[in-house]
């Protein structure tokens, strides 16, 4: 195949006027895909390691060559992935192609002005969404938007909003979606095609004829591990307790009868029980339902039949909601204990029980009853002789053989939990011998959890560099290493536990087999979730491949009618941008006043006669609570330590702003967090301080947070 910019019969590198010479290796399938994606909305499905980013780059330069006055936006779901794309594109593009990194550190005015002097923009979708909602700029001059990890374009995720705006505003839209898995089933794939108006799906796997010559293959090795008798007996006891809860749910028709109930179904049930308070609240309006992503036909309910069951107008005998809730919570605890026992390690099982015991000592009677039940006590007695998971010796044997075969090998071990990663690091480093030098490090996300500090982006990058340069040879990683980080190819990958997601299976496995034949080990314990999840993830991958190879049931859209005139971004003077931004801020203030007046009118017949009264009541409660805490602080001589409560000024701003841009239901204020942060930015407030104050308020139960909404909670 020939490219207009590569006339050699068998070119070694891809050549293009906008790219640096002799850097991008020629691959037929990448060139072919980029040609198609340069002319229509395309969903590209490639396994990890087949070069999705290069496909995006080749497509992008084709479009910039055709429409040099247009702009390109490259979106990714996380900041580390955005930074990675920015670095990769800078490496391959010629210096005259100007790239710009959008972040919250760049003010709205600077972001808008940056559109004048740059051609390619890298951002998370939330930033673009907020800018569009504020009216800072339009997308009519954008030649293409690239959505990385496209499978996230569902429901209320920002990808959906940005795509809708682009398709509405642009007369010549071009969308490129790149992912390793568009969805687990036909419904998800069709939903994605509808959201992004996909005209063409292109799929390749490692067995595709035009891909084979560039890949080395991956050998999947399943290690079946038998559970000790003590664990099997303890598992049987815990199963008996779970079956008792299942029988209760089935007999009262709370849950539909099925052979397998996981903790996920119990979580869904609890979500429904909480959601019903909103749906059955007589004060809930259609506007409330629409604002919070609900519908009048209760489309968000996992088990819709519960609404009729708990509706006093339709049912005289209302079930005991508290009892159902307690049973569901116990079901989650028991299922989680089973998972830790059979897929992780006995030490994690015992640590989790210890955490539950601490909560019982704090006064939680339900947990205390559960811990004192014959099921938990019986399981604990049986497990006393067990010291560690039977997976550990198998894992050590795998590493020993790998390093005997290749002393310079690099290996990634994926595990679900940080705590398990800690145990593995100790086991591996203690195992090192003269013939098997294991140097292992733990790789986790940025979030800091209880007694477990996360890794910031700088530390993550430094650790990846050390791994690349053989400073250590085993990376024990949580899900943070699955996507969004430029981790080098390794000789082998080990799945410490199985996962049910096909996308995570593809991403983890794709870390090996890039430069030589790779190995992927699966540690599967019998009679555990490992067996179920392993089957589910591999079956979902097979079904997805079947759909993509024979896409007759996939509903791509007909060819979109595009304008003959290619997109062209119109230069905006800085003074015009500033004037527009000033008007936006003024309009926001006017709209806020109107919003309060509307809220007062709408809620005049409710428990609180106005938004102002509600704000005043909550603030007064805060003041009383603050005084109590100040006295307590003085008596305990804790002056100078971290504040135990929000400042009244910040709290009042939060409540008043929530009243302006949110809505009132009953005695609570509801506000979308994205809207709240946007308001803070527009008023030039310290976002980091606002986030800390919100988190502090949640910790002190002044606020609740659910589904990206902040909810005020009057203090008792």
Q: In terms of Cα–Cα distance, which of 84, 64, 199, 88 is closest to 144?
A: 64
Report which secondary-structure segment, H or E, holds 440. strand 440-443
The answer to whether position 366 is within a domain reads: yes
Are residues 282 and 186 both part of a single domain? no
Higher local confidence (pLDDT), 700 or 605? 700
Kindly give, in sequence order, each residue whose CB lies less than 8 Å from that of residue 353, ignoring residues fewer than 6 positions away: 337, 371, 376, 380
For residues 688 and 14, give the distance between their C-alpha atoms in angstroms, rounded to a whole number: 44
Distance (Å, whole) CA 225 – CA 227: 7
Examine the pLDDT at 637 and tell me if it is beyond 70. no
Q: What pLDDT is recorded for position 646?
A: 54
Phi, psi dihedral angles at 438 (to 5 degrees): -100, 125
352 and 394, same domain (yes or no): no
Q: Does residue 512 sit in the same domain as residue 608?
A: no
Residue 345 has pLDDT above 70, yes or no: yes
Strand 42-45's sheet: what is its strand order?
99-101, 120-123, 71-75, 142-148, 175-179, 42-45, 200-203
Cα gap 344→354, rounded to integer Å: 16
* CATH, residue 40: 3.40.50.300
Q: Model confidence over 10-46: pLDDT tens digits?
A: 678 999 999 999 999 999 999 999 999 999 999 999 9
C-alpha to C-alpha distance for 213 and 207, rounded to whole angstroms: 10
Residue with more model confidence, 104 or 610: 104
**Reduced to 3 states, what is the DSSP secondary structure of residue 481?**
helix
CB atoms within 10 A of CB 577: 20
Percentage of the chain beyond pLDDT 70 is: 81
Q: Is residue 198 part of a domain?
A: yes
* 358 plus 451 within the same structural domain: no
Spatial strand order of the sheet with 668-672 comes to: 663-665, 668-672, 709-712, 703-706
In a domain, 145, yes or no: yes
Distances in Å between the alpha carbon of 349 and those of 224, 227, 392? 21, 15, 15
pLDDT at 277: 72
What b/e sequence results for 440-454 when a residue is b if at least 16 CB atoms lie within 10 Å of its CB, and e otherwise? bbbbbbeeeeeeeee
- Containing 113, the helix (H) or strand (E) segment is helix 108-117
> Residues 601, 694: one domain?
yes
| Residue 293: C-alpha distances to residues 153, 168, 666, 670 (Å) | 16, 22, 18, 13
Question: Residues with Cβ < 8 Å from 342, sequence gap 6 or more?
Answer: 227, 231, 235, 525, 527, 528, 529, 530
User: What pLDDT, on the 0 to 100 scale, is given for residue 16?
Assistant: 94
Return d(Cα 442, Cα 535) in angstroms, integer: 28
pLDDT tens for 551-566 read: 888 999 999 999 999 9
Taking residues 329-348, what's their average pLDDT? 94
pLDDT-derived band at 631 (thresholds 50, 70, 90) equals low
- Tell me: do 408 and 278 sit in the same domain: no
pLDDT bin (cut points 50, 70, 90) of residue 660 is: low
| C-alpha distances in Å from residue 379, one per residue of 335, 346, 371, 373 | 13, 12, 11, 10
In sequence order, what are the beta bridge partners of 475? 412, 441
Residue 277: give its domain's CATH number.
Answer: 1.20.1320
Residue partners of 683: CB distance under 8 A and separation at least 6? none
Chain segment 76-115, per-residue pLDDT in tens: 998 888 988 999 999 999 999 999 999 877 888 888 999 9
Within-domain flag for 559: no
Please state, in angstroms and rounded to a whole number, the distance separating the CA atoms of residues 277 and 298: 12
Mean pLDDT of the chain: 83
pLDDT at 635 over 70: no
At which of 353, 383, 413 does a domain end? 383
Q: Print the domain residue range for 339.
A: 229-383
Q: In the chain, what percentage of residues exceed pLDDT 90?
A: 49
Is there a domain that residue 44 lies in?
A: yes
Residues 476 and 379 grouped into a single domain: no
Domain co-membership, 346 together with 495: no
Buried b vs exposed e over 254-291: b needs ≥16 C-beta within 10 Å?
bbeeeeebbbebbbbbbbbbebbebbeeeebeeebbee
Return d(Cα 480, Cα 591) in angstroms, integer. 41
Q: How far apart are CA 466 and CA 706, in angstroms?
A: 39
User: What pLDDT, on a 0 to 100 scale, did the predictor assign at position 3?
Assistant: 47
pLDDT at 656: 63
626 has pLDDT over 50:
no
Q: Are 348 and 419 in contact (CB under 8 A)?
A: yes
pLDDT in the model for residue 283: 67
Q: Which tokens in the block code for residue 38?
A: 């340069």
Taking only the tens place, the pLDDT of each residue in 436-490 is 889 999 998 877 777 788 888 888 889 998 998 889 999 999 988 776 566 777 8
Q: What is the pLDDT of residue 608?
A: 39
* 663 DSSP β-pair partners: 670
Considering the domain architecture, whether residues 647 and 613 belong to the same structural domain is answered as: yes
Give the CA distances from residue 153 to residues 105, 158, 163, 182, 183, in Å, rounded to whole numbers and listed in that order: 25, 7, 9, 10, 10
pLDDT at 644: 44
Residue 458 has a pLDDT of: 84
**Least-confidence region, from 131-135, 516-520, 634-638:** 634-638
Cα(83)–Cα(90) distance, rounded to whole angstroms? 11
Distance in Å from the first CA to the final CA of the chain: 73
What pLDDT, on the 0 to 100 scale, is given for residue 685?
A: 66
Q: Which helix (H) or strand (E) holds 467?
A: helix 457-468
Radius of gyration for the chain, computed over Cα atoms and rounded to the nearest angstrom: 28
Domain total in the chain = 4
For residues 601 and 676, state if they share a domain.
Answer: yes
Q: Give the Cα separation of 528 and 343 in Å (integer).
A: 7
pLDDT band at 214, cuts 50/70/90?
A: confident
566 falls within a domain: no
Question: E-strand spans in 547-653?
Answer: none
Please check whether residue 565 lies inside any domain of the structure: no
Q: What angle do CA 703, 704, 708 make, to 5 degrees?
A: 120
Q: Which residue is listed with tokens 């005043």?
A: 616
Inter-CA distances, 584 with 79, 517, 676, Å: 27, 57, 16
The C-alpha atoms of residue 302 and residue 377 are separated, in whole angstroms, by: 34
Residue with more model confidence, 8 or 610? 8
For residue 622, pLDDT beyond 70: no
Alpha carbon distance 498, 523 (integer Å): 7
Which one of 383, 407, 428 terminates a domain?
A: 383
Q: 258 or 392, which is more confident?
A: 392
Predicted pLDDT at 7: 45
Look at 213-227, 294-308, 415-429 and tell me which has the smallest mean pLDDT.
Answer: 294-308
Using the 3D structure, point to which of 383, 408, 439 is the last residue of a domain: 383
Query: Alpha-carbon distance 271 to 547, whole Å?
Result: 32
State whether 318 and 394 are in the same domain.
Answer: no
The residues, any chain, with a CB within 8 Å of residue 441's CB and separated by 6 or more, are: 425, 463, 466, 467, 472, 474, 475, 476
Q: DSSP alpha helices (H): ranges in 551-573?
A: none
Confirm whether 234 is domain-assigned: yes
User: What value does the mean pLDDT take over residues 660-682?
Assistant: 68
Question: Which of 66-70, 287-291, 434-438, 511-515 has maximum average pLDDT?
Answer: 66-70
367: tokens are 């947990």
- Which residue blocks in 4-51 are alpha helix, DSSP H? 28-37
Both tokens assigned to 329 = 């919570």
The tokens describing 491, both together, are 């000789």
CA dihedral (674, 679, 682, 684) in degrees, to 10, reads -100
The verdict on 54 and 195 lying in the same domain is yes
pLDDT bucket at 511, cuts 50 / 70 / 90? confident
Instruction: Locate all alpha helices (DSSP H) within 197-228, ordered by sequence.
Output: 209-212
What digits encode the pLDDT tens for the residues 156-206? 899 999 999 999 999 999 999 999 889 888 999 999 999 999 999 999 988
State yes or no: pLDDT of 348 exceeds 70.
yes
Which range among 102-106, 228-232, 255-259 has the greatest average pLDDT?
A: 228-232
512: which residues sit within 8 A by CB, 6+ positions away?
218, 412, 489, 490, 491, 492, 493, 518, 519, 520
């Amino acid at each position: 195949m020939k490219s207009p910019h590569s006339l050699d019969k068998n070119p070694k590198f891809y050549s293009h006027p906008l790219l640096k010479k002799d850097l991008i290796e020629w691959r037929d399938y990448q060139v072919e895909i980029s040609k198609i994606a340069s002319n229509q909305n395309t969903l590209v499905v490639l396994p990890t390691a087949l070069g999705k980013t290069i496909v995006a780059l080749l497509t992008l330069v084709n479009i910039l060559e055709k429409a040099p006055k247009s702009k390109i936006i490259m979106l990714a779901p996380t900041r580390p992935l955005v930074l990675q794309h920015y670095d990769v594109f800078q490496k391959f593009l010629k210096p005259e192609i100007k790239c710009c990194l959008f972040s919250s550190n760049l003010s709205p005015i600077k972001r808008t002005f940056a559109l004048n002097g740059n051609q390619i923009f890298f951002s998370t979708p939330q930033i673009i969404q907020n800018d569009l909602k504020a009216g800072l700029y339009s997308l009519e001059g954008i030649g293409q938007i690239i959505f990385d990890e496209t499978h996230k374009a569902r429901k209320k995720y920002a990808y959906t909003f940005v795509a809708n705006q682009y398709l509405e505003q642009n007369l010549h839209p071009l969308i490129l979606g790149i992912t390793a898995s568009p969805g687990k089933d036909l419904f998800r794939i069709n939903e994605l095609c509808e959201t992004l108006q996909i005209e063409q799906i292109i799929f390749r796997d490692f067995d595709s004829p035009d891909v084979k010559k560039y890949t080395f293959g991956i050998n999947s090795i399943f290690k079946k591990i038998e559970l000790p008798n003590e664990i099997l007996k303890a598992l049987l006891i815990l199963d008996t307790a779970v079956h008792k809860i299942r029988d209760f749910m089935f007999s009262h028709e709370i849950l539909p009868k099925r052979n397998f109930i996981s903790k996920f179904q119990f979580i869904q049930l609890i979500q429904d029980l909480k959601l019903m308070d909103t749906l059955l609240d007589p004060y809930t309006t259609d506007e409330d339902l629409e604002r919070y992503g609900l519908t009048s036909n209760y489309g968000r309910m996992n088990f819709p039949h519960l609404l009729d069951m708990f509706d006093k107008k339709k049912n005289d005998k209302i079930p005991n909601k508290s009892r159902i809730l307690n049973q569901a919570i116990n079901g989650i605890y028991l299922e989680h204990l089973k998972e830790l026992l059979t897929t992780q390690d006995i030490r994690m099982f015992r640590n989790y029980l210890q955490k539950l015991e601490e909560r019982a000592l704090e006064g939680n009677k339900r947990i205390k009853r559960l811990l004192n039940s014959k099921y938990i006590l019986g399981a604990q007695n049986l497990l006393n002789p067990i010291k560690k998971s039977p997976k550990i010796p198998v894992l050590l044997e795998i590493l020993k053989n790998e390093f005997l075969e290749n002393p310079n090998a690099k290996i990634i071990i994926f595990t679900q939990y940080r705590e398990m990663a800690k145990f593995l690091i100790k086991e591996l480093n203690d195992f090192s011998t003269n013939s098997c030098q294991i140097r292992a490090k733990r790789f986790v996300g940025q979030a800091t959890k209880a007694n477990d500090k996360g890794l910031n982006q700088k530390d993550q990058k430094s650790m990846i560099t050390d791994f690349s340069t053989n400073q250590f040879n085993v990376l024990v990683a949580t899900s943070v290493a699955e996507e969004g980080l430029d981790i080098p190819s390794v000789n082998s990958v080990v799945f410490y536990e199985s996962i049910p997601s096909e996308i995570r299976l593809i991403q983890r496995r794709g870390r090996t087999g890039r430069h030589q034949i790779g190995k992927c080990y699966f540690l599967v314990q019998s009679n555990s979730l490992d067996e179920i999840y392993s089957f589910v993830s591999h079956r979902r991958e097979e079904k997805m491949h079947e759909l993509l190879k024979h896409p007759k049931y996939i509903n791509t859209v007909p060819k979109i009618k595009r304008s003959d005139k290619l997109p062209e971004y119109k230069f905006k003077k800085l003074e015009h941008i500033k004037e527009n931004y000033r008007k936006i801020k003024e309009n926001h203030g006017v709209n806020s006043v109107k919003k309060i007046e509307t809220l007062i009118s709408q809620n005049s017949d409710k428990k609180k006669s106005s938004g102002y009264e509600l704000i005043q009541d909550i603030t007064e409660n805060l003041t009383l609570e603050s005084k109590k805490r100040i006295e307590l602080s003085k008596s305990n001589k804790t002056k100078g330590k971290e504040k135990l409560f929000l400042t009244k000024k910040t709290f009042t701003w939060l409540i008043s702003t929530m009243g302006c841009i949110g809505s009132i239901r009953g005695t609570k204020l509801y506000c979308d967090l994205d809207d709240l942060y946007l308001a803070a930015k527009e008023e030039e407030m310290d976002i980091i301080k606002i986030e800390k104050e919100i988190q502090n308020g949640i910790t002190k139960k002044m606020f609740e947070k659910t589904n990206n909404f902040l909810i005020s909670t009057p203090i008792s």
